[in-house]
Amino acid sequence: MRLTILTGHSRGLGAALAAQLIARGDRVLGIARHALPLPAATLEQWPHDLADPLPLAVRLQTWLEAQDPSAIEQATLINNAGVVSTPQPLREADPAALSAALRVGLEATLLLCQAFLAGTRGWTLPRRVLNVSSGLGRRAMASSAAYCAAKAGMDHLTRCLALEEALLPHGARVASVAPGVFDTDMQRQLRSADAAAFPDRDVFVALHRDGKLLPPETAAQRLLAFLERPDFGAEPVADVRS
């Protein structure tokens, strides 16, 4: 039995990942603000706002410590949840929205990585952490400071974790992976943004107009294929297209 913990599973890429994980027979724990209409036997769900990640991390570590590792073939954490605040210059942004974006995109990722690694401490079975990053963590974009900062922080967090886990005899493999461009609520939000406040708006309009956005299902397939690569984690910061 494969155990996979997935955040942001209720829509978009997360929902596509959940469907494909369930289809291949994983035991899936989904964490998001909203639940999918699926039976508990198919998908265990914890409704939780990841903008308040500390109690969730405590719960996850306790839950993992109660699992029987002898019944698990592989354990995986996929940090997929993220928030895009209204595209606008930082000076004009809502502080509460900025805080939520950083809490969901970076703080929750860090705390859930800690909970996963601590809760499975001593397990000798394969463990993997996939942090779903973005090209915007590696390339700055005006009017997107919180999202870019969260993804850049995710990438560097993953580099640190890779160094730590490499020192252990059964350390986890970790990678922060950009999934490529695909159609999401975020893309629709960027296309509909105020062009005066978001200078890159036309770039995202063109991606949609020219048919260059993958469906979420294809992006999910590529991420899961990357996760199963024998060299997963060899490059802590990666891209599915490489």
Q: Look at residues 95, 52, 68, 48 and name the one whose alpha carbon lies nearest to residue 1.
A: 68
Q: How far apart are CA 190 and CA 204, in angstroms?
A: 7
Question: Would you call 147 a catalytic residue per the annotation?
Answer: yes
Instruction: Give a three-class secondary structure readout of 88-146.
Output: CCHHHCCHHHHHHHHHHHHHHHHHHHHHHHHHCCCCCCCEEEEEECCHHHCCCCCCCHH
10 Å Cβ neighbour count for 242? 8
Characterise 238 by phi-psi region: left (phi > 0), alpha (psi -120 to 50), beta (else): beta
Q: Does the CA dihedral 153-129-10-211 come out positive or negative?
A: positive
Q: How far apart are CA 47 and CA 30, in angstroms?
A: 8
- Give me the catalytic one of 147, 198, 204, 232: 147
Report CA 142 to chain centroid distance, whole Å: 22
| Active-site residue list | 147
